Amino acid sequence: MSKRSLWLLAGLVLVASLIVGPGAVASPAKSNAGTIVFIHDQEPPNLQGPWVGNNLYATSLVLNNIWYGCQIRNSSAALVPRLCTAKPQIVKKSPLTVRFTFKKDAKWSDGKPVVAEDFWATWQVFVNPKNNPISRTGYEDIKSVTRGNSKTVTVVFKKTYADWEALVSSGVYPAHIVKGKDMNEMFLNSVPVSSGPWKFSSWQKGVQITVVKNPAFKAGPAMKLDRLVFRYILDTNSRFQALKAGEGQVMEPQPQLQIADFMKDSKFKVDTKTGYTYEHIDFEFGKDGHPALKQPYVRQALIQGMNRSQVASALYGEISKGLPALQSLIYKPFETTYKKNYSQWKFNQTKVISLLKGKGCTGGPDKPSAGNDKIFSCPKVGKLSFRFFTTTGNQLRALTFEIIQRQLKSVGIELVPRFQTAGVMFGTTLPSRDWDLMLFAWVGSPSSSITVKDILGCGGDQNDGAYCNQALTKVLVKVSQTLDAGERAKLLNDAELKYVAKDIPSIPMFARPLYTINAAKVKGVGVNPTQEGSPWNVADWAA
């Protein structure tokens, strides 16, 4: 599907889709020589992808090889041609004009060719005000798109859009399927056609989604497999037990302590690298968030009351030694553009208590204490007791909460757990803006920084924390229109240090190590550090 700059990692009562696929199977699929079972922790709420109530990374894993792109990000995070004959090119800078050509044998699974009309129809889906995509960024900046059955597509932008390559490389919808349809009701339960190596087969809700080899796919290497089954298991221990027992052959786990055991087991292969995924804690600035969070000194107290380095060491010591606390919401430590813009906020519990008392807060402890049960109340904003949301079934997130909860309680700040399934948290709670603190991850790519205005800018499409700094927003809009990468990096680092790290709309936690685990007999599996996910090269997978 369209490769959003950021996907939620963890999303609804499902209604009937306008297009009905094959019926669900009666029981979980059994593995065989032509099948791989891919165990995952989060089930998509539907198959709409970057749509309100979805946008989960778990959904992108299913859709990225159905709505195939002009280009795809490989295991080095580089964009490489897939459905296109070559990389898209800028043919004119003013107005920005981009051209690319679909391969002659790029076609849909029903035999119709992939053509310019499909990209045009996709553009119309995203700019139609009746539709509810998570974001219209990029599409809203397009002035015109080639129509008709031509394989060559020319896109003219109204203004410069710096992330143009990722946008035009995104997967397209089939014009002959989506035209005239209510897109808010499409693809809830099934997907009728595919332009990629696999196509949708069935969905047994609460258990698994099955995709099968697309025999019409000729634009790239065909799958060796007959099918791949996404098996959904919520509980962390149960997932690893299922993999160990041979109930699945591949897993792309969130970092969990159980990975250390698989690293020592010759029956399995573990691949790891640091990726563009990062954990963070957001604050809700809207009317339904705790009023204390609108006070800068309270956010300062929260970040200085957390020992983020200690949390990283406790959680990841066995599987990723030396993982540092993240000091930026924009860049990752392995990027040359990374600067420690948040490093001014060091762990200092004594300073937290002094800060709160200096603001007139009362009722808390006089000094940090592990056994403290006194909670501060502050003028005009009340008791410093906050609802803390994160996803259920994830042991490391539960441990993160427990450590932070103890650290903050020792300085008179209370966190009350509100754990939810990914579907509920991301599909209902996050967009409702009725929460206080929320721990989750964004899954991105090298170009995610270009569109950071979506999550940090005033009124940003993915800014559900309702944070707004007008001066910052002006800079982020400029970044999205700046083609030179070096100039963008300077603008972003200066703005993060001057505005973001001062305002603290969110606390960066870790740039997460990424993992794949597969049975040793399975070939071709490895980490992709971007939102493409490990099945980016599914044609190379063999059981």
pTM (predicted TM-score): 0.86
The encoded tokens of residue 377 equal: 């109340």
Nearest Cα residue to 7 out of 49, 41, 56? 56
Angle at the Cα of 41 from the Cα atoms of 40 and 45, rounded to 5 degrees: 100
Share above pLDDT 70 across residues of the chain, in percent, rounded to a whole number: 94
Residues in the chain: 543
The encoded tokens of residue 322 equal: 């030396």
Mean pLDDT along residues 504-532: 95
What pairing do the DSSP bridges indicate for beta strands 35-40 and 250-251?
parallel
219 in helix, strand or coil?
coil
- Kindly give, in sequence order, each residue whose CB lies less than 8 Å from that of residue 42, ignoring residues fewer than 6 positions away: 9, 10, 11, 56, 57, 58, 232, 391, 422, 423
Is a pLDDT exceeding 70 seen at residue 47?
yes
User: What is residue 118's predicted lDDT score, i.e. its pLDDT?
Assistant: 98
DSSP state of 384: -
- Per the CB < 8 A criterion, the answer to whether 496 and 476 are in contact is no
Model pLDDT for residues 218-246, shown as the tens digit of each residue: 999 999 999 999 999 988 899 999 999 99
The encoded tokens of residue 34 equal: 């032509």
Predicted confidence band at 99 (pLDDT cuts at 50, 70, 90)? very high
Nearest Cα residue to 400 out of 335, 301, 323, 465? 323
Give whole-number Cα distances, 5 to 161, 462, 541, in Å: 13, 10, 26
CA distance 330 to 38: 31
CA quadruple 373, 352, 279, 512: dihedral positive or negative? negative
CA distance 255 to 277: 11
The encoded tokens of residue 20 equal: 């009905």
User: What is residue 19's predicted lDDT score, i.e. its pLDDT?
Assistant: 25
CA distance 346 to 321: 21
- Kindly give, in sequence order, each residue whose CB lies less than 8 Å from that of residue 289, ignoring residues fewer than 6 positions away: 283, 433, 434, 435, 436, 465, 466
Nearest Cα residue to 43 out of 298, 235, 173? 235
Predicted confidence band at 252 (pLDDT cuts at 50, 70, 90)? very high
Model pLDDT for residues 475-490, shown as the tens digit of each residue: 999 999 999 999 999 9
Model pLDDT for residues 300-323, shown as the tens digit of each residue: 999 999 999 989 888 877 777 778
**Placement of tokens 């699945």 in the chain:** 248
Mean pLDDT along residues 175-204: 97
Q: Tell me what the pLDDT averaged over the chain comes to.
A: 92
Q: Is 77 left (phi over 0), alpha (psi -120 to 50) or beta?
A: left
Mean pLDDT along residues 268-292: 95
User: What is residue 331's predicted lDDT score, i.e. its pLDDT?
Assistant: 96
Is a pLDDT exceeding 90 seen at residue 4?
no
Q: Within 13 Å, how many C-alpha atoms sit on residue 475's CB side?
A: 21
**CB neighbours (10 Å) of residue 123?**
21
**Lowest-confidence segment of 138-147, 180-189, 256-265, 375-384 by average pLDDT:** 256-265
CA distance 537 to 418: 37
CA distance 443 to 4: 10
CA distance 457 to 451: 10
Is a pLDDT exceeding 60 seen at residue 191?
yes
Structural domains in the chain plus CATH codes:
274-513 (3.10.105.10)
DSSP state of 56: B
Model pLDDT for residues 343-377, shown as the tens digit of each residue: 999 999 999 999 999 999 999 999 999 999 999 99
User: What is residue 319's predicted lDDT score, i.e. its pLDDT?
Assistant: 75
CA distance 426 to 53: 7
CA distance 383 to 401: 20
User: What is residue 33's predicted lDDT score, i.e. its pLDDT?
Assistant: 60
Model pLDDT for residues 74-93, shown as the tens digit of each residue: 999 999 999 999 999 999 99
**Placement of tokens 């993992």 in the chain:** 515
Model pLDDT for residues 51-70, shown as the tens digit of each residue: 988 888 899 999 999 999 99
Predicted confidence band at 14 (pLDDT cuts at 50, 70, 90)? very low
User: What is residue 26's predicted lDDT score, i.e. its pLDDT?
Assistant: 33
User: What is residue 501's predicted lDDT score, i.e. its pLDDT?
Assistant: 98
Beta strands in 214-365 (DSSP E): 227-232, 250-251, 268-283
Please classify residue 401 by burial: count the beta carbons closer than 10 Å to its beta carbon, then call 0-12 exposed, 13-18 middle and 19+ buried: buried
Angle at the Cα of 24 from the Cα atoms of 540 and 523, rounded to 5 degrees: 15
Predicted confidence band at 186 (pLDDT cuts at 50, 70, 90)? very high
User: What is residue 132's predicted lDDT score, i.e. its pLDDT?
Assistant: 94
Give whole-number Cα distances, 242 to 248, 250, 268, 350, 487, in Å: 6, 10, 13, 46, 48
Is a pLDDT exceeding 60 seen at residue 25?
no
Is a pLDDT exceeding 50 seen at residue 27?
no
User: What is residue 32's predicted lDDT score, i.e. its pLDDT?
Assistant: 52
User: What is residue 69's predicted lDDT score, i.e. its pLDDT?
Assistant: 92
User: What is residue 15's predicted lDDT score, i.e. its pLDDT?
Assistant: 23
CA distance 101 to 87: 9
Is a pLDDT exceeding 80 seen at residue 429?
yes
Predicted confidence band at 184 (pLDDT cuts at 50, 70, 90)? very high
Higher local confidence (pLDDT), 255 or 411 = 411
**Lowest-confidence segment of 7-16, 27-36, 433-442 by average pLDDT:** 7-16
Q: Is 359 left (phi over 0), alpha (psi -120 to 50) or beta?
A: alpha
Is a pLDDT exceeding 80 seen at residue 12?
no
Count of H-run helices and E-run strands, the chain: 16, 19
Please classify residue 371 by burial: count the beta carbons closer than 10 Å to its beta carbon, then call 0-12 exposed, 13-18 middle and 19+ buried: exposed
Predicted confidence band at 23 (pLDDT cuts at 50, 70, 90)? very low
